[in-house]
Structure 1
């Protein structure tokens, strides 16, 4: 029987593509909203996976090896093919499609696993997603529905809560083979942090009222994307905070475990907001009702 092909390491390929186009790990990091060492590490993992060198670490700019040139060309050709396909699909339904603006982490971990239910019930409603990961200056007027995080929805909109913030520390099961630890032991562990305005103080929120101080994280333990943070947690790099509604499927599946039984609820959460343009899209109200009613499902 023929073996199935190994899945492509897409995060590593994305890091290589950015570095190849910019001829710089630092510039690639800025483009991907991560630090330079993270790009270099992902490229090194890709080189190990392929068994070839892709770059010569020359200065002031990186130099592609022949193998790197071949891969960069293949990625460029593939991206052009994908863009063509996407453009065709978008051109068919763009005028009628309902546009939902949402953060990448929420879309990946909460919305997409549930979207099949909505599409099965409402196949006539076309939904486009605009993700704004790392971009806090998104224009809400460019969408029909916006999913935002905070203590309330967007001012001047009809908003409903989707679910509240429930902070739970999680890690790879191999990191704590003896099970969850005490909050005192947790405070001494390697803690992974988010490095954006909404979540930079999450660990301080978690330990508030315990009398325990949160150590200043090392630069390598600060992540600029929740999806990058989640990958580091899954790899066993350290312990990170998750929102129970977004990580409970992974906890149930055993790919993550609860690192400490202390769970903290805050006044914040995710909110679904109807924008003015939604009045012209009948499907927007249906989606709004569904998403705001799916909390805890």
Structure 2
């Protein structure tokens, strides 16, 4: 599969030349920036166009303009070159700070890592954590990372993993709604905001409090962050996913409904990587710190 992909990916030099010519709108100015001749720039662009089977520029007397295909191609090329440059500098650069690249599910980054990262970075002054967030599997396929922190099945993201912690679910709502809920059946008077990508949700919660799951009206969000925002706006009742959602819950001004009604989630957070033995030293230090720090918080 990778061999087939490599056969279709153009030369890195061609892509660098294309990006410079597109940015400057001139083969001559691109040549100056790249320390090449204008003829060499023109030839490499032509080779790239032949490989792709489509023209990327409209040639004019003293400038060039991107075609529609060229405009569409420019953004991913620039992003790929930037990602490669950042990863190279972070991994092999000679700057005083060494980069550690962590890709993390959004709610964990916001509700958990934000609490502990200052402590980690203070203990490792020569190491800078570059944190990116996402929610979908596609998000985690983009860009370079030393480590991934995901929710759910770790095998979809890497060969090896460590369990970090689980979650507890309980209903939360805006205070004016929560005040009207005194018994489990009252939950069904309001829309129940469900995160459709999670295995544990309202069905499990309602079964726990002995309410028929099929009787509730469901509305859907794509993440816990969005579910909390919808609950803050009064659109219904969300499920907190403690402890990762604690900060989001407080920030949204939400309060618990039915004190004591909580259920253990069936999915957990994992730290994912390809090979523990191959982890760079900064990634090993972060792994060791994270697992111990979460344990010290009493989260499991």
Asked whether the two chains share a fold, i.e. TM above 0.5, the reply is yes
Is 1:126–2:128 an aligned residue pair?
Answer: yes
Higher-Rg structure is 2
Q: How far did 1:125 drift?
A: 1.7
Residue 30 of structure 2: aligned partner = none
Residue 247 of structure 1: aligned partner = 245
1:187 is paired with a residue of what secondary structure?
helix
Residue 283 of structure 2: aligned partner = 284
1:208 is paired with a residue of what secondary structure?
helix
Q: Deviations over 1:119-148 (max 9, x none)?
A: 122222222223222335733994221112
CA contact (8 A) 2:173 2:255 kept: yes
Q: How far did 1:224 drift?
A: 2.0
Residue 14 of structure 1: aligned partner = none
Which segments of 5 or more consecutive residues in structure 2 lack a partner in the other structure? Answer: 1-78, 92-97
Q: How far did 1:101 drift?
A: 1.7
Is 1:98–2:97 an aligned residue pair?
Answer: no
TM-score normalised by length of structure 2: 0.58
Residue 60 of structure 2: aligned partner = none
Q: Alpha carbons of 1:264 and 1:153: their partners in 2 closer, same or farther (altered >3 Å)?
A: farther
Residue 31 of structure 2: aligned partner = none
Q: Alpha carbons of 1:273 and 1:231: their partners in 2 closer, same or farther (altered >3 Å)?
A: same
Residue 184 of structure 1: aligned partner = 185
Cα distance in 2 for partners of 1:253, 1:108 equals 11
TM-score normalised by length of structure 1: 0.58
Q: How far did 1:154 drift?
A: 5.8
Is 1:143–2:139 an aligned residue pair?
Answer: no
1:138 is paired with a residue of what secondary structure?
helix
Q: How far did 1:252 drift?
A: 6.5
Residue 111 of structure 1: aligned partner = 113
Q: Taking CA–CA contacts closer than 8 Å with sequence separation of 6 or more, which of the two structures ends up with the larger relative contact order?
A: 1
Aligned residues: 207
Residue 227 of structure 1: aligned partner = 225
Which moves more between the two structures, 108-117 or 153-162?
153-162
User: For 1:151-162, what aligned pairs fall within 5 Å after superposition?
Assistant: 157-162=159-164
Cα distance in 1 for partners of 2:248, 2:223 equals 18
Q: How far did 1:270 drift?
A: 0.7
Q: How far did 1:241 drift?
A: 0.7
Q: Alpha carbons of 1:246 and 1:126: their partners in 2 closer, same or farther (altered >3 Å)?
A: same
Q: Alpha carbons of 1:226 and 1:285: their partners in 2 closer, same or farther (altered >3 Å)?
A: same
Q: How far did 1:164 drift?
A: 0.9
CA contact (8 A) 2:100 2:128 kept: yes
**RMSD (CA atoms):** 3.4
Cα distance in 2 for partners of 1:287, 1:161 equals 14
Cα distance in 1 for partners of 2:273, 2:179 equals 45
CA contact (8 A) 1:99 1:129 kept: yes
Which segments of 5 or more consecutive residues in structure 1 lack a partner in the other structure? Answer: 1-82
Q: Deviations over 1:190-235 (max 9, x none)?
A: 2112233x35x611122235251244646xx311233222211222
Residue 237 of structure 1: aligned partner = 235
